Amino acid sequence: MHKFKFIFVLLYCVFSPLILRAQDAVNTAEQLIADIFEQYTAESEDAIDYETFYDELINYVQNPVNINKTSREELEHFPFLSDIQIENILSYVYRFGSLKTIYELQLIDGLDMTDIRRMLPFVSVGEGSDEKQKIYFQDLVKYGKNELFLRLDKGLETKEGYKLPLETENEESTQAAYLGNALYHSLKYRFHYKDRVLFGLTAEKDAGEQFWGTSNKGYDFYSAHVQLNRFGKFETIVLGDFRANFGQGLVLRPEFGMGKSSYVLNVTPRNSGLKKYSSTDEYNFFRGAGATVRLGEFNLSAFYSNKMIDGDTLNGSFSGIYKSGLHRTASEFNKKHTVNQQVIGGNVTFTHLNYQLGFTAVHTILNDILQPEKSVYNYFYFEGKEQTTAGLNYRLRWHKLNFFGETAMTGNGSLATLNGFSFSPLSKVSIVALHRYFSPEYETFYATAFSESSRINNESGFYLGAEVRPFARWKFSAYADSYKSFWPKFGVDAPDVGMDYLFQADFSLKRNINMFWRFRFEEKPENKSGSENTMPEVVPTRRTSLRYQLLYYFGDFSFKNLIEGNLFDKGDAVWTYGLMAYQDISYRFSKIPLKLDFRYQFFDATDYENRFYSYEKDVLYAFSIPMYYGLGSRYYLNVQYEINKHFSIWFKIAQTTYADDRESLSSGNEEISGNKKTDVRFLLKWEF
């Protein structure tokens, strides 16, 4: 093996410069991040924090991971790598020593040139340096990077909420006017010295919120953070706003977890530990302080959070947490920061070469009683002022098998457990299996784990995924997921059983031409609409979709063609259909620092259940996944221009036009007269 490795390295030392020059200029890190994000959101309606997703990956462009010095925790930041691939990379370096070139990754089981091209912007090889070297103040001043972002958004059509006079606000009115204007704006400042010292400030005002007036003065939301990495025994120190992610997500993972996607092997959440929070989500974070200490093979983490959250409080109780972060009307503003939430938590993790064991515990205290309005579907929802959740998580590697799981319990004795394994019997075949059981009584604030529902309770299921690379240029991915609930849930007034299947075939004709075909089928029950029976009638629904995508590069041009169709059936009703297609064209000028992204799209979805979601390119640190149903078309133009080495600007205009005779769009305060909706965005970035 060592002899073969030497010959391989020698050949690549000769030919790798030619290969590097052949890389398409448009195959940049930002393009890769956008493509990866789209794969994770294409089949999901759940919002993923794109700001955090982008920020973490772009950080590794500026501070590449040294493959020869890396760890599982670092490689888990790359969502395009499966657990099997991560284990194989670590095992190869341990057995055969340091890599001499990045292309030596081709010798590792389960990696091909597609995977390696994705890794190129984010990794390096070399001997590395002492990551815990001292940091001096003059280095922070001289080499630290400062960034300031100003973003402005505006809808060009006037919505009903801005037409209503404030005087109409009263308890009897069905609508209340927006307190502020239609302009969204935010300010962000960020400083970082390598990946060792991170500091940031964020201020945001949503459209409709008041910036300066009787109800509010200044921005509606403020956030600040400090993160220090690898200071002596401290692996991480966080102050201000932060997130804490541990285990498989049954106890503590406010960030998004891995769900069902075309990355069929990636079912376990990534990026564990404490880290800064710099997004504009006004609920899903902690505010306080935390630290992680490394003691040999042990990592000890502890944190404390004390912040105000939104709720409809009345006489010392509230029925639910208001998570949207929107404070546009008087009623929304009255919910702002009415409940105090304190959280104390910690984690102990022991990591050895082939196994890992961790314990996580979280205790939450509310100053008012959470008391949901009881119905059949939320009968087991948490109520009270204090909640405790704890769980044990593990990982074990045995030959080619990787076992993982977590079992957690709440203070009322309810149980949730998630266990699985991944296996690669051949270098071109990988399999993952996952079983989950969440008791109906299991209810905790911060769980985000693999599940069909967004709530981690009242579910049992089994998932099986496989990835096969039988021929050069081809990859086949598939999953099957079967699940059931034990108790009625929202929209389904009886215990139910569902199933979900996906198959995708990827083909890379050349380095600059890629395509895939994706088939998905889902069957699950729903309440029958319009039923006159005294007891609700539950009927099966079936949704089938087929998508084809072609991505190709030509010089400074990048093209993407996509067409998707779906069929939906509910009970014995007539099948309804949806059809959507778009053409993307991107061009990066070679003489001037200007990039243009343009899309034209049409859609025909006869029913709401035939709706489509499609990811769009946007200004920096923003994302769009619009939903479409009805008959219409959409276009957008995204412009990026670097004025000089200090200033860059982004501009986007997007318009949706409906052709199905509708006279208004949306409803309530968001209603727009006419059949068009137009949005513009502007962002200025200043580096100094």
Last residue of a domain, one of 161, 196, 227: 227
- Sign of the Cα pseudo-torsion (73, 77, 79, 80, in order): negative
Same domain, 534 and 679: yes
pLDDT over 80 (residue 315): yes
Which of 477, 613, 476 has the alpha carbon at shortest distance from 545?
A: 613
Query: Residue 532's pLDDT is what?
Result: 57
Q: Do residues 545 and 602 both lie within one domain?
A: yes
Distance (Å, whole) CA 593 – CA 587: 11
Q: Calculate mean pLDDT across residues 445-454.
A: 89
Q: What is the pLDDT of residue 23?
A: 35
Q: Supply the range of the domain harboring residue 207.
A: 145-227
Q: Please report the pLDDT score of residue 10 as a whole number.
A: 40
Mean pLDDT of all residues in 391-414: 92
Give the Cα separation of 67 and 116 in Å (integer).
Answer: 12
Per-residue pLDDT band for 8 (boundaries 50, 70, 90) equals very low
List, for residues 344-354, the tens digit of each pLDDT value: 999 999 998 88
- From CA 632, how far away is CA 628, in angstroms rounded? 9
Is 151 part of a structural domain of the chain? Answer: yes
3-state secondary structure 90-109: HHHHHHHCCCCCHHHHHHCC
Please give the pLDDT value at position 652.
97
95: how many CB neighbours lie within 10 A of its CB? 8
Last residue within a domain, chosen from 132, 154, 171: 132
pLDDT for the residue 462:
97
152 by DSSP, 3-state: which?
strand
pLDDT confidence of residue 404: 95
**Residue 70 sits in the same domain as residue 186:** no
Mark whether 101 and 217 lie in a shared domain: no
596 shares a domain with 548: yes
Q: Decide if 356 is inside a domain.
A: no
Least reliable range by pLDDT among 60-74, 145-159, 500-514 = 60-74
Q: What is the pLDDT of residues 197-235, one digit of tens each?
A: 999 999 999 999 999 888 888 999 999 999 999 988 899
CA–CA gap between residue 339 and residue 576 (Å, rounded): 45
193 and 64, same structural domain? Answer: no
**What pLDDT does residue 25 have?**
33
672 shares a domain with 549: yes
pTM of the model: 0.87
Greater pLDDT, 684 or 141: 684
pLDDT score at 21: 35
Q: Average pLDDT for residues 553-576, to the nearest whole number?
A: 91
Residues 6+ positions from 256 with CB-CB distance below 8 Å: 46, 48, 49, 448
For residue 20, the model assigns a pLDDT of 36
Tell me, yes or no, whether 542 and 675 share the same domain.
Answer: yes
Residue 285 lies in a domain: no
Q: Categorize the per-residue pLDDT at 12 as very low, low, confident or very high, splitting at 50, 70 and 90.
A: very low
CA nearest neighbour of 328 among 182, 204, 168, 187: 182
CA distance 490 to 228: 43
In the prediction, which pLDDT does 83 show?
Answer: 82
pLDDT at 370 over 50: yes
Concatenated DSSP letters of 558-622: EEEEEEEEEEEEETTSPPEEEEEEEEEEEEE-SSSSEEEEEEEEEEEESSGGG-EE--B--STT-
Tokens of 581: 């297609």
Give a yes or no: residue 495 inside a domain: no
59 versus 425: the higher-pLDDT residue is: 425
Mean pLDDT over residues 484-499, rounded? 89
Q: Is the pLDDT of residue 621 over 80?
A: yes
Indicate if 681 and 585 belong to the same structural domain.
yes
> How far apart (Å, rounded) are the C-alpha atoms in residues 456 and 468?
31
Whether 650 contacts 638, CB under 8 Å: yes
Confidence of residue 16 (pLDDT cuts 50, 70, 90): very low
pLDDT at 17: 37
Task: Name the domain boundary from 110, 132, 154.
Answer: 132
Whether residue 604 lies inside any domain: the answer is yes
- Which pLDDT score is estimated for 127? 67
**What pLDDT score was predicted for residue 530?**
60
pLDDT one-digit tens code per residue, 537-551: 888 999 999 999 999
Average pLDDT over residues 497-512: 92
Residue 434 neighbours by CB distance under 10 Å: 22
Q: pLDDT tens digit string along 648-666? A: 999 999 999 999 988 899 9
pLDDT band at 256 (very low <50, low <70, confident <90, very high): low
Q: Is 522 a residue whose pLDDT tops 70?
A: yes
Q: Please give the residue that has the higher pLDDT: either 13 or 32.
A: 32
Please give the residue that has the higher pLDDT: either 511 or 43: 511
Q: Does pLDDT of 524 surpass 50?
A: yes
pLDDT tens-place string over residues 18-56: 333 333 333 467 777 777 777 777 665 555 677 777 887
Residue 332 lies in a domain: no
Give percent of the chain with pLDDT exceeding 90. 55
Indicate if the pLDDT at residue 238 is higher than 90: yes
Q: Which pLDDT tens digit goes with each residue over 588-603? A: 998 899 999 999 999 9
Q: What is the pLDDT of residues 102-117, one digit of tens each?
A: 778 888 887 877 788 8
**pLDDT tens-digit readout, 279-297:** 898 999 999 999 999 998 9
Integer CA distances (angstroms), 396 to 294, 423, 425, in order: 21, 12, 17
Considering the domain architecture, whether residues 150 and 74 belong to the same structural domain is answered as no
Q: Are residues 162 and 73 in the same domain?
A: no
Rounded Cα distance, 223 and 603, in Å: 39
- Chain mean position to CA 159: 30
The total number of structural domains that make up the chain: 3
In a domain, 581, yes or no: yes
CATH number at residue 561: 2.40.160.10
Residue 2 has pLDDT above 70, yes or no: no
Q: Going along 427-537, which residue ranges are E strands?
A: 429-438, 459-468, 474-484, 497-510, 513-527
User: Are 598 and 623 contained in the same domain?
Assistant: yes
Break the chain down into helix, strand, coil percent, rounded to 5: 15, 50, 35
CA R_g for the chain: 26
pLDDT averaged over every residue in the chain:
87
